[in-house]
Structure 1
Amino acid sequence: MASKSTVERNKQVAALVAKYAERRKQLKAEGDYASLQKLPRKSSATRHRNLCALTGRSRAVYRKFKISRIMLRELALQGKIPGMRKASW
């Protein structure tokens, strides 16, 4: 499980990305890279990391469910994800 500080930092980055998204898009369209560099570094969308909503794990996170593969498997085995069940062949 990720530390709480990591999860909180990622939330702050997500807020900055959302705040500056329109301005960054406009500056890129104009080709004004000098002004683009003056914006906060963490306002870049590449700095935002997809974290598991339940554990904060950063790797193997399914975008559709926003949870990691480990939690996805546990929830599926518990029957908490509709339409998903263990494969058998």
Structure 2
Amino acid sequence: MARKSLIHREKKRQKLEQKYQLIRRSSKKEISKVLPSSEKWKIHRKLQSSPRNSAPIRLHRRCFLTGRPRANYRDFGLSGHILREMVCACLLPGAIRSSW
């Protein structure tokens, strides 16, 4: 299980990203529309003044149950070993174990 502080930090990043999402999108659209480079730099400074953790690239997917940051499957939102345990226990409909 992941530490509670890391999970809380990730939730805080998600809230910041949601808060600044419209501002970041609109400023990126403005940069693509504006021709003079001096105006682009002004808009770029505005974009850079937003908090670092508001960038969507800083978000990291975590396992829904354990909070594990690695080996996550997007379709299920679970880490690999939890996914395997749930498939073996027949808790995920439609998921099939490989048997070869």
Q: Name the TM-score class by shorter chain.
A: over 0.9
Alignment correspondent of 2:65: 54
- The total of aligned residue pairs comes to 89
Normalised by the size of structure 1, how large is the TM-score? 0.94
Q: Which amino acid is 1:49 matched to?
A: H
**Unaligned 5+ runs, structure 2:** 32-42
Root mean square deviation, CA, Å: 0.9
Q: Which amino acid is 1:69 matched to?
A: G
User: Residues 9-47 of structure 1, C-alpha deviation per residue, up to 9 Å, x if partnerless?
Assistant: 101101111111111000111121110011111100011
Alignment correspondent of 1:21: 21
Identity of aligned residues (%): 40
Q: Does residue 1:10 correspond to 2:23, yes or no?
A: no
Matches within 5 A, 1:7-86: 7-31=7-31, 32-86=43-97
CA distance in 1, matches of 2:13, 2:62: 12
Normalised by the size of structure 2, how large is the TM-score? 0.84
Q: SS of the residue aligned with 2:98?
A: coil
Alignment correspondent of 2:37: none
Q: Which amino acid is 1:73 matched to?
A: R
